[in-house]
Structure 1
Amino acid sequence: MYVSFDQLPPSARVWIYQANRPLTSPEIMGVLPTLARFAAEWTSHGNALHASATFLHQQFLVVGLDEGVAGASGCSIDASVRFVAQLEQLLGVELLDKSRLALLQGGVVQLLKRNELKAAVADGTLAPDTFYFDNTLATKGELDTAWPRPAGETWLARYFGQEERSQHLA
């Protein structure tokens, strides 16, 4: 069952897929009905899931699921990944590639290849206060409160010679 993304509870599980380029407003508007249809039809062992999907920052597909109603099974998660692969074809973007990090610099999402990470830290392109989109967040609450957040407060802290300072542990 489709639920508006903003109506998902903070405990809702999220999956974040990062596009290799910003999507245009017409591209996003054109795919919104497809996202709603997927969420409306997504099931787990025959049970309708309370789900939603949206694009954030014109570059991130976020699928959300209220597991308080019904949880996702392995098969339903596989179905969602197949859906994302179909979106890649439809939009002509990569969403399943995990080889790039996304940073927010000057209000613009910038992508950095993982193998360029150390050099970016050395030249100051990536600093502890650079906002980083940690796409491994698990819940909508984390998405709402800690995405993006300063790189020095994420797993990237080790590249700055700092211990990770998680807001959740503070």
Structure 2
Amino acid sequence: MYVPFNQLPASARVWIYQANRPFTAAEIAAVQPALQQFAQEWTSHGRTLAASAEILHGQFLVIGLDEAVADASGCSIDASVRFVRGLEEGLDIQLLDKAQLAFLLGDQVQLLDRLSVRKAVAEGQVQPTTPYFDNTISTVGELQQKWPAPAHTTWLARYFAAAATPLA
């Protein structure tokens, strides 16, 4: 059963899929009915799920599930991944690639290759306060409070500590 995203409880589980480029306004408008239909029809072992799906910051597909109604099963999670793959194919966009990290610079999402983070921190391109989209968060509450979060408050803190340590 479809639930508007803003009506999911803070405890609702989320899966975040980051696009390799911003969605266009036309793509967002075109995909909205498919997101609602997916959430409406998503089930787990025949049980209706209270779910939602939304494009946030123009670059992230976020699927939310109120597990207090019913938990997702392995099969239902597989179904959601198939749905995401279908969107990738239909829109010629990548949503399952984890090689890029997303930061909010100004009001724009900027992607940075995971392998170049250390260099970006050392060169000051990414600051401790740079908002970072940690797509491993797991609840709507975290999404609302910690997404994006200052980079130094996430797993990226180790890069700032390393940058602050003088080389011998």
Range of TM-score over shorter length: over 0.9
After the TM superposition, which residues 107-126 of structure 1 pair with which residues of structure 2 at under 5 Å, given as runs?
Answer: 107-126=107-126
Q: CA RMSD in A?
A: 0.8
Structure 2 residue aligned with 1:167? none
Percent same amino acid among aligned pairs? 64
Give secondary structure in 1 for the equivalent of 2:33. helix
Structure 2 residue aligned with 1:142? 142
User: After TM superposition, which residue ranges in structure 1, 4 or more long, deviate above 3 angstroms?
Assistant: none
Cα distance between partner residues in 2 of 1:119 and 1:57? 26
1:22 lines up with 2:8 in the alignment = no
Q: Give the partner amino acid of 1:26.
A: A
Q: Give the partner amino acid of 1:157.
A: A
| TM-score, L = length of structure 2 | 0.95
Structure 1 residue aligned with 2:165? none
Q: Give the partner amino acid of 2:155.
A: W
Structure 2 residue aligned with 1:53? 53
The Cα offsets for residues 60-97 of structure 1, whole Å up to 9 and x where unpaired, read as 00000000000000010011001000000111100000
Q: Give the partner amino acid of 1:50.
A: A
Structure 1 gap segments, 5+ residues each: 163-170
The Cα offsets for residues 15-60 of structure 1, whole Å up to 9 and x where unpaired, read as 0000000011111011000000000010000000000000000000
Structure 2 residue aligned with 1:90? 90
Shift of 1:147: 0.3
Q: Give the partner amino acid of 1:55.
A: I
Q: Give the partner amino acid of 1:125.
A: Q
| TM-score, L = length of structure 1 | 0.94
Shift of 1:101: 0.2
Cα distance between partner residues in 2 of 1:79 and 1:100? 24
Cα distance between partner residues in 1 of 2:2 and 2:161? 44
Structure 2 gap segments, 5+ residues each: 163-168
